[in-house]
Structure 1
């Protein structure tokens, strides 16, 4: 069975701005009744809990309020997280350089640079560094959010994760982008 999750990550916001943006976004979501204001034990991986679906949860799905009910599962809420985190979208076969289109194989792991160069860059980024990886094709230093990951991976200081909701509407994701100041967002979905 498993748990289905979707993430929307602001890959441009700085760590220092993320807390204010989280407050602004949470107020917007509560005002539209997409989520409940209080935190409950309704998400995975967030010690402080998450927000249960609100009376207008269907708004996030692009549906009318009376058209859809929230999932009746324990993990069915929304977590809004701040702080540098990695949001993975799936298992990697390869990544592609955005400058020269060189394809870096990630499988088998022992033959690629995943366990070395990419892992080191991710660790650097999480600790506050730039998280750059040199492309062996063109020699350019590429930021982690600029590689083509195949499945969307994101590295950001503000992320929204919903558990076991139907697919989020494109318009809803775009509205979140506007609330966050028009920053670049990365959307991904996967299943545990």
Structure 2
């Protein structure tokens, strides 16, 4: 059986604000008993994550899920520059923000690397309209996101829209949902 995840990503938070925001959300989740305070090996990769606490179902649309029976079931906070992708499960489209043309055949891999490393240009020239935009401005389908802050929920089902809206209010920016499977 494979693992899946949902990442909520702010593409607007700066690097300087990401750690402080993560601390605020961790504290909020702990107070609401959505996650446990202690970091454990309950997520894939590093750093460790927070296991679900007794009220984790308050964050879910489907409250019947029993996460406690899963080994990989935690919440991970990412506070560094990252491309949040769908776990290598393919792309259907990379649409130009100006004309909507699908640029999936364009050479966009180097632009991703350049965005992540902060070196050279991260721009892609649209093959139809000729406009150059940062790779982060293109619309990826399935959804990808780019930022310094994300919350990844490992093997959680669909999050309750009210829960996501509450997080957006606390954080002060829109959160993009990225779904993936490993």
Q: TM-score, normalised by structure 2?
A: 0.90
Q: Where does residue 83 of structure 1 map in the other structure?
A: 80
Task: Please state if 1:190 is matched with 2:153.
Answer: no
Q: Where does residue 150 of structure 2 map in the other structure?
A: 159
Q: Where does residue 40 of structure 2 map in the other structure?
A: 40
Change (3 A) 1:42 1:96: same
SS in 2 for 1:24: helix
Equivalent pair of 2:62/2:157 in contact (CA under 8 Å) = no
Structure 2: stretches of 5+ with no match in the other structure: none
Of 158, 171, 181, the residue aligned with 1:180 is 171
What's the RMSD between the two structures over aligned residues? 1.8
Q: Where does residue 7 of structure 2 map in the other structure?
A: 7
Change (3 A) 1:186 1:62: same
Equivalent pair of 2:93/2:142 in contact (CA under 8 Å) = no
Instruction: Tell me how far apart the structure 2 counterparts of residues 63 and 4 of structure 1 sit (CA, whole Å).
Output: 16
Instruction: Tell me how far apart the structure 1 counterparts of residues 134 and 27 of structure 2 sit (CA, whole Å).
Output: 32
| Aligned-residue offset at 1:100 | 0.7
| Aligned-residue offset at 1:99 | 1.1
| Aligned-residue offset at 1:71 | 4.1
Count of residues in correspondence between the two structures: 179
User: Which whole-Å deviations, capped at 9, do the CAs of 1:100-141 have from their partners, x for residues lacking one?
Assistant: 11122x3xxxxx22xxx3111111111135733221222222
Q: TM-score, normalised by structure 1?
A: 0.86
Equivalent pair of 1:71/1:165 in contact (CA under 8 Å) = no
Instruction: Tell me how far apart the structure 2 counterparts of residues 151 and 71 of structure 1 sit (CA, whole Å).
Output: 29
Q: Where does residue 70 of structure 2 map in the other structure?
A: 73
Change (3 A) 1:138 1:71: farther
Q: Where does residue 119 of structure 1 map in the other structure?
A: 109
Task: Please state if 1:135 is matched with 2:134.
Answer: no
| Aligned-residue offset at 1:187 | 0.1
Change (3 A) 1:63 1:30: farther
SS in 1 for 2:99: coil
| Aligned-residue offset at 1:169 | 1.1
